[in-house]
């Protein structure tokens, strides 16, 4: 198939065929992502506009662009740009799109990337908009599951903050396209919004909910951990109780499926104990690396480059 | 021969009769039309009158005014059952049911305070409209408004 998508805003814009196309292209670029440099995007410039802190997303986009032979423009700190003078995002996008061949935007407001798309003359890639979407994270999660486990009908548990976590909403939608059997594991106050559960069921997804972490651990192919944020809890003792209940150590891995993998979008705080890092199940650092081939694939697609 | 119902809602010479408004929504219809206590518009309003199709309904009559498309679209969001009658020289020259548009622009404020449409950016709010029941999904942040829509009308 030929992929013509100009902007990357939300996972909901993608068909299953389009996702497969991106994952296949990432597979072809994976060895280049590890080392070396090509001239696939030689002469092209990628602008990075990050209005919120980021380590992995920003640096993996930079790495992806450099591996493809292109160059990167960085907005830098908000304090040293026109943002501090009160310039609107719309104006910044209008200007930066005349300097570059594509823009990656991370912003604090939901819908920022959708709006940026309306003002940009070059492709916009959503690098996270508030509590909204983060499609490149979802794509690298899918790629990790494909490479390290199985993407067709996997048994997957998603654990932690399912209410506010922006990555898990997009991920569950995408997993439903692959017939995943999804179990949501969270405390009551952070459970997946009913609207999303209903939406998933309408799409024919197999969805379960539980508060009991240990109950699901031994019957899954993929354990997707997320961070529970302290600021969501008005009472610090309640936070501690919840944080401890949704933590995994190597002792809990005795009876899990031998090929079960553990993922995490990072940064982790203490929800995955460091004792898990050296087990055969840990994949979160590998997952972080897969952000590079996925973003390479997306950059070549939106800039219309063949590989 | 006049009966009590006809006395309640006297015919008008020229203007618009908005009929079959969901009971309780007439005041919101007036708000949509910018009719406040200080305007000089001649307006009649009846609330909670019996209706064969709705059980109870409200009716609003505005003299010497015909509605704009945007006003009708807004009315459709809070009362999909409403019908519009254009009156000229005592005659009903046009009668139609309101129709909900599939997308509404610049009519509703997003309820998500962190939505880009609620900032100083030069964007107009946009919602995709779904019916049965009415749900407005923000095109920017995807938040859904499904109740008390009248409170968020711009």
A132 and B117 within 8 Å at the Cβ level: the answer is: no
User: Is the CA virtual torsion A152, A158, A162, A167 positive or negative?
Assistant: negative
pLDDT tens by residue, B110-149: 999 999 999 999 999 999 998 888 889 999 998 889 888 8
Separation CA A228–CA A15 (nearest Å): 31
Please enumerate residues of B whose Cβ is less than 8 A from a Cβ of A. Answer: 112, 114-117, 119-123, 138-144
Cis peptide before B56 (omega within 30 of 0): no
**3-state secondary structure at position A158:** strand
Domains A11-133+291-302 and A135-288 alike in fold? yes
pLDDT tens-digit profile, chain A (307 residues): 566 668 999 998 899 999 999 999 999 999 999 999 999 999 999 999 999 888 899 999 999 999 999 999 998 766 666 676 788 999 999 999 999 999 999 999 999 999 999 999 999 999 999 888 899 999 999 999 999 999 999 999 999 989 877 688 889 999 999 999 999 999 888 899 887 888 888 888 899 999 988 889 999 999 999 988 777 777 888 888 787 778 999 999 999 999 999 999 999 988 999 999 999 999 999 999 999 999 999 999 999 999 8
Fold (topology level) of A11-133+291-302: Rossmann fold (3.40.50)
Q: What does pTM read for this prediction?
A: 0.89
Tell me which of A93, A105, A110 to substitute to probe the interface with B (most B C-beta atoms closer than 10 Å).
A110
State the catalytic residue, choosing from A2, A4, A80, A85: A85
Task: Write out chain A residues lying below 8 Å of B142, CB-based.
Answer: 10, 110-111, 132
Q: Is A114 on the interface with B (CB under 8 A)?
A: yes
Instruction: Please provide the CATH number assigned to the domain covering A135-288.
Output: 3.40.50.1370
Residue B1 has pLDDT above 50, yes or no: no
**3-state secondary structure at position A182:** strand
Tell me which of B109, B111, B114 to substitute to probe the interface with A (most A C-beta atoms closer than 10 Å).
B114
Separation CA A227–CA A265 (nearest Å): 9
pLDDT tens by residue, B74-113: 999 999 999 999 999 999 999 999 999 999 999 999 999 9
Percentage of residues in chain B with pLDDT exceeding 90? 73
Q: Where are the domains of chain A?
A: 11-133+291-302, 135-288
Task: Write out chain A residues lying below 8 Å of B144, CB-based.
Answer: 195
Task: Write out chain B residues lying below 8 Å of A90, CB-based.
Answer: 121-123
Nearest chain B residue to A108, by CA: B114
The pLDDT assigned to A154 comes to 95
B141 and A132 within 8 Å at the Cβ level: the answer is: yes
Separation CA B36–CA B102 (nearest Å): 29
The pLDDT assigned to B84 comes to 96
The pLDDT assigned to A84 comes to 67
Q: Is A117 on the interface with B (CB under 8 A)?
A: no
Mean pLDDT, chain B, integer: 90
The pLDDT assigned to A297 comes to 97
Nearest to A187 by CA among A219, A167, A220, A162: A162
The pLDDT assigned to B2 comes to 45
Nearest chain A residue to B146, by CA: A195
ipTM: 0.86
A130 and B117 within 8 Å at the Cβ level: the answer is: no
Residue B13 has pLDDT above 70, yes or no: yes
């Amino acid at each position: 198939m030929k992929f013509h998508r100009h902007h990357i805003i939300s996972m909901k814009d993608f068909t299953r065929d389009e996702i497969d196309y991106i994952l296949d292209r990432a597979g072809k670029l994976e060895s280049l992502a590890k080392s070396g440099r090509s001239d696939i995007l030689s002469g092209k410039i990628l602008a990075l506009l990050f209005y919120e802190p980021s380590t992995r997303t920003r640096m993996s986009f930079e790495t992806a662009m450099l591996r493809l032979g292109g160059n990167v423009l960085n907005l830098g700190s908000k304090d040293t740009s026109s943002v501090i003078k009160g310039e609107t995002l719309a104006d910044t996008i209008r200007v930066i799109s005349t300097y570059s061949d594509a823009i990656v935007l991370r912003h604090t407001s939901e819908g920022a990337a959708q709006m940026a798309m309306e003002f940009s003359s070059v492709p916009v890639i959503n690098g996270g908009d508030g509590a909204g979407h983060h499609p490149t994270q979802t794509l690298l999660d899918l790629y990790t599951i494909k490479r390290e486990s199985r993407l067709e009908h996997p048994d997957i548990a998603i654990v932690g903050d399912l209410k506010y976590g922006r990555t898990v909403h997009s991920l569950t939608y995408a997993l439903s396209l692959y017939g995943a059997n999804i179990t949501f594991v969270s405390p009551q106050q952070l459970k997946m919004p009913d609207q999303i559960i209903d939406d998933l069921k309408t799409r024919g997804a197999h969805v379960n909910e539980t508060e009991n972490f240990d109950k699901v651990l031994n019957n899954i192919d993929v354990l997707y951990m997320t961070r529970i944020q302290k600021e969501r809890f008005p009472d610090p003792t309640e936070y501690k109780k919840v944080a401890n209940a949704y933590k995994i150590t190597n002792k809990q891995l005795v009876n899990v499926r031998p090929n079960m993998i553990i993922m995490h979008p990072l940064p982790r705080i203490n929800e995955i104990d460091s004792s898990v890092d050296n087990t055969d199940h840990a994949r979160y650092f590998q997952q972080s690396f897969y952000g590079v081939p996925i973003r390479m694939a997306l950059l070549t697609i939106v800039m219309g480059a063949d590989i | 021969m006049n009966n009590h119902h006809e006395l309640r809602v006297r015919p008008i010479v020229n203007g618009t009769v908005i009929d079959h408004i969901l009971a309780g929504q007439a005041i919101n219809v007036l708000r949509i039309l910018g009719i406040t206590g200080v305007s000089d518009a001649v307006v009649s309003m009846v609330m909670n009158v019996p209706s064969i199709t709705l059980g109870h309904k409200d009716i609003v009559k505005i003299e010497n005014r015909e509605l704009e498309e945007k006003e009708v679209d807004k009315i459709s969001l809070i009362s999909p059952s409403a019908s519009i009658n254009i009156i000229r020289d005592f005659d009903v020259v046009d009668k139609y049911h309101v129709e909900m548009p599939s997308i509404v622009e610049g009519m509703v404020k997003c309820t998500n305070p962190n939505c880009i449409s609620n900032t100083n950016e030069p964007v107009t709010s946009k919602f995709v409209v779904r019916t049965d029941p009415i749900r407005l999904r923000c095109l920017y942040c995807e938040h859904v408004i499904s109740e008390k829509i009248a409170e968020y009308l711009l």
